[in-house]
Structure 1
Amino acid sequence: MEESLRTMTKVFRRECHRMLDSERTTMQGADGMLMILQLAMAGVNKQEHGDFGVALSEVLAAWKYFLLDKLQLSHSDIPLPQNYDLIRKEYDCFLKRTNTVDLIDVFIMFKELRINEDPEEPLTAMQLFQFLIGEKERSEKMDPLPVCPATPSNKAICSPQIQRVVRRVFCSYLGLLVNSKNDLALAYTLDNPNRSLGHSAFTDLRHAACDSASSLFLTVTSFVRTIQLGGKGYAPPESHPLRKHVKGLSEFLNFVDQCQEVLGETPNPREAGSKLVSSIRAALVKGRSNGDPVYLAAEDTAKSLKERIGQIHTMQTHSAVGTGISPARPKAYAINHSTAYGGRETVKVLMTLLDEEALAPPCRNKAELLSEDHAVLNGSSGACLLTLYKSPEAPTGSSPKPLRNRVLSQQEHIKSKVVRPTIRSQFACTYNDAELPLNRVLAFSSTSQLPTFVLPAPKKLVPLPVTMEEEHDPTGMDITLKGGSVLSVLNNLHAWSVRCAHTPRRAPFF
């Protein structure tokens, strides 16, 4: 089985330029195919029911039907999954958008691409189905995971799950250098190591990529380059959703740029591959102790990948026929024709390494792969690729808000109801506004807060005789004389002064 898969992949790589638009198309193995199927089913459920999610049992049931249908085998005894046509379409669109193919596509294209001297059919469709479904026994030789030495320091903590996730992150970084459109590779490398680019940042990045109809990596590159080189006139506005993730995105892109420089400036593929693997290892183990499980897994994975890169380079150098892989062939009209050749030999080695990783047997524990296998490096539990692709839910009000939010909301509600009294002078009666007096605004809640100073009742005034016709304003402010009598003026002034004298004085306000 191992030799048949490698023969099929070798023929595909040699002749794929006849059918594919890009020579840097990468392959998805059994685990990658299952994760993409899960995302496709969740996307269809969101379109049909508004909820981006799918049960694990539904994914496993659709997985078997999907493999039989794509391999054109009999599947009459298996029930048809709901919305299967939409799921299949979403799955194929994901592969096309990310410039990837799965093992079944390679198997189908092999029949059309092989030439006379190639073997007719290294394996049958049923054998490939059994391999993808996980029915074949895993051989020690085919398992790409390094075995940790059984020492007291790492015997209990170097788990297979951590080894698998760490190795996937290494290969995702290398795969991103070969195929920058691979969104699945970016999802595993964006926040590994931790760059504060979690669920919210990935969601904003996906929305920005959808709006610009480009890949995730191209969206990151365009955004960061515009800020770094565009100046104030061309920089995205402050309201741009990626503005709050500038630091983390810049760190991620700077690390990828450093890897690209190593890829293009180091002519020896063995040396270039070793430098790339060392850079990735240094980033993953930064800040971790020697006994950390991720540290141990990263050390073993880096050592294993360096050895395998050296073996592949030696094999390709001494091969009389050659591999036939010719990625990124420079065009005659390229602006920088000589630079286009930089790193080509290293890319050939990396593509061969990634193809071997895609031929690895599937993970036995599907629940672990689909439910808890993504955020192992950052220490969070219960996170998975499906959760990462799911947009954060807006609060509906059904669940209680955090205590801090409730306290702040109550304080704002109380502040909005408080009436700030205005301190007015003793001539308040001269104001024409409709505000209530201070003694009616202040509400005394207890008898101890009642005012202790009470003015006596005003004395009854005896009006002076008025001899001339007169009119005055009821408020006592507007006095109009019609006869010009001095006595009338004096009477009105006297009444106004008595009214002001008996106006209740207000207690001082503190």
Structure 2
Amino acid sequence: MGVVELRLKPVVKVFRRECHRVLESERTTIHGANSMLMVFQISVAEVCKKERGDFSVALSDVLVAWKCLLLDKLHLSHDGSPISENYDLIRKEYDSFLKRTNTVDLIDVYNMYKQLRRNEDPEDPLTAMQLFEFLHGCTDVFEETDVIPPCPATPSNRAHHSSSQVYRVVRRVFSSYLGLLVNTKNDLALAHTLNAPSRSLGHKAFTNLKHAACNSSTSLFLAATSFVRAIQLGGKGYAPPQSDPLRKHMKGLIQFVHFTDQLEEILGESPDSSAAGCKIVSSIRATLLKGLSNVDPVYAAAEATVKELKERICQIHITQKELAFGTGISPARPKAYAINHATAYGGRESVKLLMALLDEEALVPPCRNKAELLTEDQAILNGTEGVCLLSLYKSPEAPTGISPQPLRNRIQSQEGHVKSKPREKVIRSQFACTYQDDKLPLNRVLDFPSSSQLPTCMHPAPKHRGPSPAAREEEPDATETRVEVEPEAESSALGQRSGNACVRAGGPRNGPARNQKVPKTSKRKLASRECEEQGTEENQPPQKRPPAKASNPGLAKKCSKAAGKKLIAGQGKLTSFFRL
């Protein structure tokens, strides 16, 4: 153990003894140098997200802001050191994270030592500059005494990781599980243990859990526990809805909560704190090494970690037992009138032992390679593609760099797509009710003339004039008659749904020349021929015409009979279909 670590040990001891005077909870945990840097990186990324919209930060920016934070909290001069951008916001976010997770860092412990120490305690075990150099990673202040257990150099899927990195990650997972038993509000500890070992609780599951905790203003552990309890015990009326995003990760969350419940049962049921601590460490080892062979680097690192932790637990237990026997006063004895006071002692001594063990873990010197520390992922334990802590806290929706359009513009654009376009006025048949609207309009199918070519006014129908006396003399044959037809200058204007030409008994719209000979006995054929001359237009019922006044009473009678017989709608067209 280095010099600074030896001097920090009494500081932490006094803080743990008197922390109830300044803190709301006695289960407040301490962040070591490595954990402080991880929390600070997350805080800087949170500020970048609020300012620029992207949850990411460069390593150089983190290190510059990290130095500013150490100098500021230790009340040291910057000596011309550059001040990081948005430093005030970063400092506020960092302090908020510590308060929300019921944790403190080593600098807070050092600052509170002066007001918490007693007369018999040393006055200044170390200076502020020594603590700064220790946290910043100066090599001339502390000596590296980490004993890295030998790992067999065998080919495996984790061969690209060094033995020191594997050992550090495994040790952190053990400490995080123990930290959750002491302080369930520690979100950083949950982030290290949620998917270690693999429970299929990756990036998306952690993000959904973080959103659920933010919506309910609780810790990540309490959000996971509440969801599982509601599923198992809530019933139909209290169970989370099917639309809850955590339902997709229900199996992994149940496994995680069930394992933590087992550890808490060991913590509360074992009367001996040393035995309880050893059982908890053995349970964590069995979970991490499930399915691994003894030649795996994780297996060797876990075995070495379990051996060291068990030895240290036994030593702490002996020390606490001697202190309690020498003073004769039971520490923090619960009140006699407390609820369930008969079982209030269960697990209390074990919790104190774990807190002392975690305090020693917080005094471990920082990692020399900051880039390796901040980019470590869970692939070392899971054997699959993992994510570092910064990526784990990042939302899975990657930013595109394009800000969304205002709501007003999006609504207007949507209305433009939904709004029905006005339909063009088309000429439809009298049988248009039998056609479907989604098909082509009838003017394209029947090749009607365009609306610009259609007449816009209607004149009354011309009157029939009887043949002249000279014409009657030239008609010796009684089988033929002469009919004079006035050519129509303009026709009627057609409506939107009446595109058929009006067929008149006197002749078509553009009738033949005057004095045209029409067979006397082909009245129906005459109407059919008139329909054919109109092209593809259909017939409408003929309109009534006033009786013609002719000088020849016989011819007027025949014309009145021809005009009196009305054609059925479409009769001429149908007759032309069946013509041979």
Q: The TM-score by the shorter chain falls in which range?
A: 0.7 to 0.9
Distance 2:542 2:200 in 1: 76
Match of 1:160 among 155, 164, 171: 164
**Residue-by-residue CA offset, 1:122-163 (whole Å, 9 max, x unaligned):** 11111111211121455465x3xx532476669987610010
Contact 2:55/2:394 (8 A) holds in 1: yes
Aligned to 1:288: 292
SS for the counterpart of 1:51 is coil
Q: Does 1:357 align with 2:415?
A: no
Q: Aligned in 2, Cα 1:349/1:429: closer, same or farther, shift over 3 Å?
A: closer
Question: What is the deviation of 1:297?
Answer: 1.3
Question: What is the deviation of 1:59?
Answer: 1.0
Question: What is the deviation of 1:378?
Answer: 2.5
Aligned to 1:465: 523
**Residue-by-residue CA offset, 1:475-496 (whole Å, 9 max, x unaligned):** 6899999x999x9799999867
Match of 1:120 among 116, 120, 123: 123
Distance 2:205 2:306 in 1: 29
Q: Does 1:257 align with 2:261?
A: yes
AA at the equivalent of 1:105: D
Q: Does 1:110 align with 2:110?
A: no
Aligned to 1:86: 89
AA at the equivalent of 2:90: I
Q: Aligned in 2, Cα 1:114/1:501: closer, same or farther, shift over 3 Å?
A: farther
Q: Aligned in 2, Cα 1:198/1:476: closer, same or farther, shift over 3 Å?
A: same
Distance 1:345 1:502 in 2: 112
**What is the TM-score when the length of structure 2 is the normalising length?**
0.69
Q: Does 1:180 align with 2:184?
A: yes
**What is the TM-score when the length of structure 1 is the normalising length?**
0.77
Aligned to 2:58: 55
Alignment map for 1:228-247 (pairs within 5 Å): 228-247=232-251
SS for the counterpart of 2:104 is strand
Question: What is the deviation of 1:42?
Answer: 1.0
Aligned to 2:76: 73
Match of 2:277 among 273, 280, 283: 273
SS for the counterpart of 1:101 is strand
Q: Aligned in 2, Cα 1:465/1:492: closer, same or farther, shift over 3 Å?
A: farther
Question: What is the deviation of 1:502?
Answer: 8.3
Aligned to 1:409: none
AA at the equivalent of 1:99: N
Q: Aligned in 2, Cα 1:324/1:385: closer, same or farther, shift over 3 Å?
A: farther
Q: Does 1:101 align with 2:159?
A: no
Q: Aligned in 2, Cα 1:123/1:433: closer, same or farther, shift over 3 Å?
A: closer
**Residue-by-residue CA offset, 1:25-82 (whole Å, 9 max, x unaligned):** 0000001111111111111111112121111011111212211111111213211111
Q: How many residues align?
A: 444
Aligned to 2:148: 147
Q: Aligned in 2, Cα 1:136/1:490: closer, same or farther, shift over 3 Å?
A: closer
AA at the equivalent of 1:87: I
Larger deviation, residues 100-109 vs 296-305:
296-305
Aligned to 1:36: 39
Q: Aligned in 2, Cα 1:79/1:264: closer, same or farther, shift over 3 Å?
A: same
Question: What is the deviation of 1:330?
Answer: 4.4
**Residue-by-residue CA offset, 1:248-303 (whole Å, 9 max, x unaligned):** 11111111111111111111112111111111111111122222221221122112
Question: What is the deviation of 1:335?
Answer: 3.3
Distance 1:185 1:44 in 2: 22
Q: Aligned in 2, Cα 1:165/1:495: closer, same or farther, shift over 3 Å?
A: same
Question: What is the deviation of 1:117?
Answer: 1.2
AA at the equivalent of 1:465: K
**Residue-by-residue CA offset, 1:208-238 (whole Å, 9 max, x unaligned):** 1111111111111111111211111111222
Q: Aligned in 2, Cα 1:326/1:238: closer, same or farther, shift over 3 Å?
A: farther
Contact 1:371/1:384 (8 A) holds in 2: yes
Aligned to 1:26: 29
Q: Aligned in 2, Cα 1:103/1:490: closer, same or farther, shift over 3 Å?
A: closer
Aligned to 2:214: 210
Aligned to 2:501: none
Larger deviation, residues 336-345 vs 274-283:
336-345
Q: Aligned in 2, Cα 1:499/1:163: closer, same or farther, shift over 3 Å?
A: farther
- Structure 1 unmatched runs, 5+: 399-427, 442-461, 504-510
Distance 1:308 1:502 in 2: 113
Q: Aligned in 2, Cα 1:123/1:494: closer, same or farther, shift over 3 Å?
A: closer
Larger deviation, residues 203-212 vs 332-341:
332-341
Contact 1:174/1:350 (8 A) holds in 2: yes
Contact 1:195/1:251 (8 A) holds in 2: yes
Match of 1:389 among 393, 412, 417: 393
Distance 2:171 2:270 in 1: 24
Distance 1:283 1:351 in 2: 22
Contact 2:54/2:399 (8 A) holds in 1: no
Distance 2:265 2:126 in 1: 40
- Structure 2 unmatched runs, 5+: 403-430, 446-518, 532-536, 545-559
Question: What is the deviation of 1:332?
Answer: 5.5
Aligned to 2:7: 4
Distance 1:492 1:62 in 2: 91
Distance 1:72 1:151 in 2: 47
Aligned to 2:341: 337
Distance 2:377 2:152 in 1: 25
AA at the equivalent of 2:149: C
Larger deviation, residues 227-236 vs 25-34:
227-236
Contact 2:32/2:362 (8 A) holds in 1: yes
Distance 2:103 2:576 in 1: 94
Question: What is the deviation of 1:361?
Answer: 0.3
**Residue-by-residue CA offset, 1:336-376 (whole Å, 9 max, x unaligned):** 22333211111111111100000000001000011235543
Larger deviation, residues 208-217 vs 492-501:
492-501
Contact 1:39/1:386 (8 A) holds in 2: yes
Distance 1:277 1:323 in 2: 30
Q: Aligned in 2, Cα 1:113/1:238: closer, same or farther, shift over 3 Å?
A: same
Q: Aligned in 2, Cα 1:104/1:181: closer, same or farther, shift over 3 Å?
A: same
Contact 2:541/2:567 (8 A) holds in 1: no
Q: Aligned in 2, Cα 1:218/1:501: closer, same or farther, shift over 3 Å?
A: farther
Question: What is the deviation of 1:6?
Answer: 1.1
Q: Aligned in 2, Cα 1:476/1:162: closer, same or farther, shift over 3 Å?
A: same
Distance 1:148 1:154 in 2: 18
AA at the equivalent of 1:189: T
Question: What is the deviation of 1:334?
Answer: 4.2
AA at the equivalent of 1:9: V
